[in-house]
Amino acid sequence: MKIFIAGPRAVTKLHPLVIKKLKDIADKNYTVLVGDANGVDRTIQEYFKNSGHNNIIVYASGEKVRNNIGNWETRNIMVSDNVKGFDFYVMKDKEMAKESDYGFMIWNGKSKGTFNNITNLLSYGKTVVLYFIPSKRFYIFKTINELEKFINKIDNKEINKFFIMNQKTNEQLKFI
């Protein structure tokens, strides 16, 4: 089983419920696909290095790997020279979404990259286990429609602003 784990760069501390889920993943010896960014990616890498779980593959866009603290196998996803910024790093995320069996996303309701990962996973027919930081709860999504219902129930001005801002880039989701 391959699990794509990701979350925001702004998050560097994991809730005990997330740590328990990571322990379960390690205990089952699942393969973890993780990016090379700071924040959740690096924190996930630190957890698995400290736990001794070595069934990890670190994905990076381009030739440079920003973080691989366990010296695990690396998959460098080649990106055209003219692709920059957010679009550059999305390339590795798309590959992890394709290669995984399911996703475990840690989301603060603000990260565009994590939200993009959720929608990519669902569009590839993958199940997403979401730890939603504002509610300190887990949610499971198998379809875009389930995600849409979740978003419509959230009573949070900051999150709603996020979806209004990103409506054009996520046209397949009709949040508003």
How does pLDDT run across 2-34, given as a tens digit for each residue? 999 999 999 999 999 999 999 999 999 999 999
| Radius of gyration from C-alpha coordinates of the chain | 15
Q: How high is the pLDDT of residue 160?
A: 54
Number of Cβ within a 10 Å radius of residue 123: 13
How many residues belong to the chain? 176
- List of residues 6+ apart from 165 with CB closer than 8 A: none
Give residue 153's pLDDT band: very low, low, confident or very high (50, 70, 90). Answer: confident
| Confidence (pTM) | 0.88
How does pLDDT run across 102-149, given as a tens digit for each residue? 999 999 988 989 999 999 999 999 999 999 999 999 999 999 989 988
The neighbouring-strand residues paired with 76 are 60
User: Exposed (0-12), middle (13-18) or buried (19+): which is 50, by Cβ within 10 Å?
Assistant: exposed
Set out the domains of the chain in order of their start, with CATH numbers: 2-165 (3.40.50.450)
How does pLDDT run across 80-98, given as a tens digit for each residue? 989 898 889 899 999 999 9
β-pair type (127-132, 31-35): unpaired
